[in-house]
Amino acid sequence: MPEIDDRAELAPRDVVSWAISNQMERTRHPNVYLELTHLKADWVRRRFPGIAAICAKFELDITRDRIPVRPGAHYMMGGLTIDAECRTTIPGLWAAGEVTCSGLHGANRLASNSLLETVVHGTVVGKAVSRAAAEMTDDFRALPLQNACRDPDGEPLDLADIRNSLKSLMWRNVGVRRDADGLREALENVERWSSYVLEQQFADPTGWELQNMLCVARLMITAALDREETRGCHVRTDYPDLDEKNW
């Protein structure tokens, strides 16, 4: 890492992820390795008990063995736009935390900022919702959770297969590195799957979750296509520079 960024292992996550991804592509290897052998074994075990336990299940001793690592989706930066009291643009809907685009993180969330956001906005939204609820009448009605949908044609949908394919597609084309060709390919596939899945009426969370995943995936791809620049963790290899004029 020192030859890539002066901050080495303390570099921001997007820099580290980019470096790992490049190394994996260059070496044609599925991961890189993290080594802790230069640290005292007792300290490592006390400091990282959870990681030590997980690695032990795969017969890896983190104090002696190399630990295989690769980038992974960790946090969603972006979502529902909220105001200072965590109100969205939809009357009666408040939001806080990872689901929101609060402006607190900028283009790249720093470590532990999500915890601060949760504490601050959780308090803010709790107070705001309590005040709003106190002013509402007790006349509540549940909206029907049904929609008119077409009868499924042919064989039932293989939801597990679509879900796995969607996850693989999003990692390949909308992951650490993005470009127009990959994003258009992703959008084409997501729209094709959506044409089958979104019109179905499911009776269990598996189907609902897949519908939500397809909706979020389409929003992410569309936003990534529109933003023809590189900023923070959004890396467009075909637009590698910041575009301060348009963004």
Q: Is residue 208 part of a domain?
A: yes
C-beta of residue 232 within 8 angstroms of C-beta of residue 15? no
Domain of residue 22, CATH code: 3.90.700.10
Instruction: Work out the pLDDT band at 200, boundaries 50, 70, 90.
Output: confident
Q: Is residue 247 part of a domain?
A: no
Instruction: Work out the pLDDT band at 150, boundaries 50, 70, 90.
Output: low
Q: Is residue 237 part of a domain?
A: no
Which of residues 147 and 223 earns the better pLDDT score? 223
Domain of residue 174, CATH code: 1.20.58.100
Q: What is the pLDDT of residue 116?
A: 84
Q: Each residue of 4-32: pLDDT tens digit?
A: 888 887 887 888 888 888 889 899 999 99
Q: Is residue 3 part of a domain?
A: no
Please give the tally of structural domains in the chain: 3
Q: Which of 139, 128, 52, 125 is nearest to 95 (CA)?
A: 125
Q: Is residue 60 part of a domain?
A: yes
Cα separation, 242 vs 247, in Å, equals: 8
Spatial CB neighbours of 121, under 8 Å, sequence gap ≥ 6: 82, 86, 96, 97, 100, 102
Cα separation, 128 vs 135, in Å, equals: 11
Residues of the domain holding 27: 8-69
- Catalytic residue (choose from 7, 13, 26, 131): 13
Looking at the structure, tell me whether residues 84 and 64 fall in a common domain: no
126 φψ region: left (φ > 0), alpha (ψ -120 to 50), beta (else)? alpha
Mean pLDDT on 194-216: 91
Looking at the structure, tell me whether residues 164 and 219 fall in a common domain: yes
Q: Is residue 146 part of a domain?
A: no
Q: Is residue 235 part of a domain?
A: no
Position 203 pLDDT exceeds 60: yes
Q: What is the pLDDT of residue 139?
A: 77
Mean pLDDT on 37-53: 93
Looking at the structure, tell me whether residues 14 and 60 fall in a common domain: yes
What is the 8-class DSSP label of residue 146?
-
Q: What is the pLDDT of residue 105?
A: 78
Looking at the structure, tell me whether residues 65 and 84 fall in a common domain: no
Of 118, 134, 150, which residue constitutes the final position of a domain?
Answer: 134
Q: Is residue 215 part of a domain?
A: yes
13 in catalytic set: yes
Spatial CB neighbours of 107, under 8 Å, sequence gap ≥ 6: 77, 231, 232, 233, 234
Long-range CB contact pairs, 59-66, < 8 A, 24+: 62/36, 63/36, 63/37, 63/39, 64/37, 66/33, 66/34, 66/35
Q: What is the pTM of this model?
A: 0.79
Q: Which of 43, 52, 39, 50 is nearest to 9 (CA)?
A: 39
Average per-residue pLDDT for the chain: 88
